Structure 1
Amino acid sequence: MFDSLEVLRMAQAFATHAGTRQQAIAQNIANADTPGYQARDAIAFSDYFQRLDDRSGAGRLPQNPNAFFRTDADPVSRAPNGNTVSLEYEMMRGVETRQQHELALGIYSMARDLLRSSLGK
C-alpha cells in the first residue's frame, strides 16, 4: 500500500535530481581552468522524472552515465581558451541546488509526519 505513494517517489526523485545537478556543478568547478571545457548542468527536473519513469526496472542505472546531463546551450561567459565555466554562476547554481535538496527533504518529512499522524503515532 505505501510503496506506491506518488509524493514520496517524486520527493525522492527531486532529491536525486539535486544530487545529479550538484555533481555537474562540481565537475564544472573542477574543470574551470581546462581549455575548451564546456560547462554542463543536469537536465530539467521534468525531463529527469520522465526518464526515470521510462526506465524499465526500479533502481536500474541508465546505460549512458551522461544521460541526465546537458551542455549549457547559452553559457554565461566564454574564456579566450574556449572554457565556458563561470565560478560565480556555479556558486549561484550550488545555492539553488541546496535549496532544491532541502525542499525535497521537507516534502519527504511532511509526508512522513502525515503518515505517522494517520497511524495515530
Structure 2
Amino acid sequence: MARAATTTDAFNAVAEPRRRQILDLLAQGERPVNDLVELLGLAQPQVSKHLRVLREVDLVHVRDEGRQRMYRLNAEPLRPIHDWLRKYEQAWNTRFDLMDDVLEGLKEAETRDDEHD
C-alpha cells in the first residue's frame, strides 16, 4: 500500500526534525544549499529533498545567484502553528508558576532547616 503524502502543509512539514533544523538555519539568514549541507552534516540529495518539501509548503523561497541556489525562510506559513500553540501558552505558564511556588517552598524549608542545625 502506498504511503500517503504527509507534507501537504506547514504542520506536517515541520514535524520532521531535519526540516526544523533547516528552518532554524535559514532564520539566521539566506544561505546556499552547500552551506546547509555542511552545517547539517547530511548528503546534498537529502538536504535538497527536505528543501523541496519546504518549498512545496512555501516555508522556503529560492533564487538563483550565479551558479548557486540561495534559500531563505518564509515564516508566514508558520503563523497557523504559532496561533495554535498560543492556546497552550497559558496552561504552560500556569504550570511553570506552580513549579516556581513549589521550588520556592522547598528553598524556604531548606533555609529553615539550616537555621535550626
Do both share a fold (TM > 0.5)? Answer: no
Q: When the two structures are superposed, what TM-score results if normalisation uses the length of structure 1? A: 0.30
Kindly indicate which of the two structures has a greater share of residues assigned to strand.
Answer: 2
Judging by fraction of residues, say which structure has more helix: 2
